[in-house]
Amino acid sequence: MKKPVVIILLFFFVSLGMKGQEMRQTIKGSVVDIDTRQPLPGVNIIVLQSDPLIGATSDADGKFRLPAVPPGRYSLQISFIGYQSRLLSDIDVSSGKEVVLNLEMKEKVMEAKEVVITARAEKEKPINSMTAISARSFSVEETRRYAGSADDPLRAASSFAGVAASASSERNDIVVRGNNPKGLLWRLDGVDIPNPNHFARIGNSGGGLTLFSSQVLSNSDFLTSAFPAEYGEALAGVFDIRFRNGNSDRHEYTLQLGTLGIDVAAEGP
């Protein structure tokens, strides 16, 4: 009669111990000079919303590591003597995946001791420096945040100004400033590509669902007008998609199940 009681108490104490453990994750990456591409040692990286404050300094190779960060959304402050400070917002830290950041810093110009020039990184600023107007950068987190986007960049872009979604909810075609959806140009890591969507029609730029997995995408640009010369084939808009770098320290695996399909990703050294 004593054995069932002992077993029940054992499971009770084990469950309490597991409940008391808070999940933690790591933010890591590297910092380089935006012009010379040389690593920057001694850069200060601080997680602003953490309590107590979590911070780190980049090593001789420009690499940094912020361990034991609780899951949530944070802003990172990056500062270094002689360089413009940066503020990165909406950094999503989840318990199942490390956050890897490749940061760039620009030298700060000072004409006199009385003049201090600082800069704040704009989340919407496009990555391509040649796009002056009608362009914005979007992240993977944004495609997940929009209702009904299904991790699809096209469906997320339909919420931008001057962009309208297709009349059919079964397709992700978009109309940019009243232009034909066929005039949308897709580019992947600097190379023009055909329509990257499932169930696409010949000559169209949209389809039923994107071919891209959100696990492999990095920050990308979306342009609606005033295209630089490198986008010569664009008539209505441009999606300049970029792949991200994988985790160079350890193996990580991601599995997503949904009514639209299965997404499996693996990365590592």
What are the structural domains, with CATH classification, of the chain?
A: 25-105 (2.60.40.1120), 135-241 (2.170.130.10)
Please say whether the beta carbons of 79 and 43 come within 8 A.
yes
Whole-angstrom Cα distance, residue 111 to residue 117? 9
Mean pLDDT by 10 residues, the chain (269 residues): 48 46 84 94 93 92 93 93 91 88 87 62 58 71 67 76 75 81 85 83 77 80 81 82 84 80 82
Tokens representing 73 are 């959304």
pLDDT given for residue 15 in this prediction: 46
CA dihedral 210, 216, 220, 223 (to 10 degrees): -20
Burial of 178 (0-12, 13-18, 19+ CB in 10 A): exposed
Distances (CA, A) of 89 to 24, 32, 142: 19, 19, 12
Using CA atoms, how far apart are residues 93 and 54, in angstroms rounded to an integer? 14
Q: What is the per-residue pLDDT for 6?
A: 46
